[in-house]
Amino acid sequence: MPTPYDSQPPRSFWRTGVANLSPLEFRDLYRKKFTISENDLIGSAGSCFAQHIGNRLKRSGFRYLDVEPPPALLPAAEHGRYGYGIYSGRFGNIYTARQMRQLFERAFAEFEPVDHIWMRGDRFHDAFRPTIEPDGFGSIEELLAMRQGHLASVRTMFEKADVFVFTFGLTEAWMSRRDGAVYPLCPGTAAGTFSDTEYQFVNFGFSEIIADMSMLIQRWRAINPGIRFLFTVSPVPLTATATSSHVMVATTYSKSVLRAVAGELAQDELIDYFPSYELIASPTQRGFFFAPNMRAVVAGGVEYVMRHFFDQHTPPASSGARAPATTGGPAQATAPPMHEDDVICDEMLLDTHNAA
């Protein structure tokens, strides 16, 4: 008697879908759930690997949304150092779902954290994007004025984006004990002073992340009903863990939870999952898309990932590469190709503390 497996295609079996092929011959790993047109405004955020995806979308002719373009007088070589052109807003790395949800809440004045300014020497840093001004701000007034403009721009991203690409990065984070505000970095790394009485470590679980993302999606759809989401999971391992586990074990936990979250959310017809994690970090890839540190993804790995993406989401044929769609200044030149050393990864500061 026939079984359901008899009608399955070769991609459904390990032998014909994986074992009989070179990793470079893998195909049909991803089938798009919806079309991204040349007129769709695409926003992006997430962990470090998300920068590669945004960079390639910009270079491939899609309408990439940049709501905080760099000042005209800032040299192009300095854009990334000051947090420009990395994501759709100047919000820096967003590693966790709670961070992303709270960004939405802060942008719409629904959450005003108590502990929001950190010091380094006599300079002031925004606790929620502590590295976007490498030398900090000269005054609290300057910081608050820049933040006000930033959050206004981010509101525009939430309101105008047609597609939002979010790369899940971490489950670990540091939280204020006073009001639950979550930061991108442990206080005391880029700025601020660590205190056990002020901050607590959290390692978010599946149910917490699902709740955060479900709330975010629901609230986002209320102001932008047509928004579609494309989720992916960063293949980049943790730089360090604050758990008692070995960093490799902690990485496995983190990525497993995030992959399960992305899969659950993608049951929604307007939410897609793209397997960048599997394309880089699966054992079948034998680690050859990682740099010698077994953490950074080499340029060839990024090209491999994006080839699978563009097989389904064909870049606009007529426009070619074009400047990002901006909402607050002149359009900037299309981004150059990104090397793994160009990635702005705040998490790497944890390793410099260990080296010291």
List, for residues 274-296, the tens digit of each pLDDT value: 999 999 999 999 898 999 999 88
- Dihedral of alpha carbons 8, 12, 14, 16, sign: positive
CB 56 within 8 Å of CB 91: no
Q: Which residues contact 58 (CB under 8 A, 6 or more apart)?
A: 64, 321, 324, 334, 335
Q: Is residue 3 part of a domain?
A: no
What does the pLDDT read at residue 324? 63
Q: Reply yes or no on whether the pLDDT at 337 is more than 80.
A: no
Most confident option among 49-63, 104-118, 323-337: 104-118
pLDDT band at 356 (very low <50, low <70, confident <90, very high): very low
- pLDDT averaged over every residue in the chain: 90
Closest CA to 188 of 198, 178, 179: 198
Q: Is residue 215 part of a domain?
A: yes
- Among 20-29, 107-116, 273-282, where is mean pLDDT lowest? 20-29
* 1 or 331, greater pLDDT: 1
- Dihedral of alpha carbons 208, 211, 215, 218, sign: positive
Q: Rounded distance, CA 274 to CA 121, Å?
A: 43
What does the pLDDT read at residue 343? 60
Q: Is residue 43 part of a domain?
A: yes
Domain that includes residue 72, residue range: 34-355
| Residue range 160-203, pLDDT digits in tens | 999 999 999 999 999 999 999 999 999 999 999 999 999 999 99
Q: Is residue 10 part of a domain?
A: no
Q: Reply yes or no on whether the pLDDT at 264 is more than 90.
A: yes
The count of structural domains within the chain is 1
- Among 44-48, 249-253, 256-260, where is mean pLDDT lowest? 44-48
* 98 or 57, greater pLDDT: 98
Q: Is residue 159 part of a domain?
A: yes
pLDDT band at 49 (very low <50, low <70, confident <90, very high): confident
Q: Reply yes or no on whether the pLDDT at 353 is more than 70.
A: no
Q: Is residue 8 part of a domain?
A: no
Q: Is residue 345 part of a domain?
A: yes
* 53 or 189, greater pLDDT: 189
The alpha-carbon radius of gyration of the chain (Å, integer) is 20
What does the pLDDT read at residue 55? 86
| Residue range 291-301, pLDDT digits in tens | 999 988 999 99
Q: Is residue 27 part of a domain?
A: no
Q: Reply yes or no on whether the pLDDT at 236 is more than 80.
A: yes
CA-to-CA dists, residue 20 to 9, 74, 276, 311, angstroms: 14, 51, 21, 21
pLDDT band at 350 (very low <50, low <70, confident <90, very high): low
Q: Which residues contact 74 (CB under 8 A, 6 or more apart)?
A: 82, 84
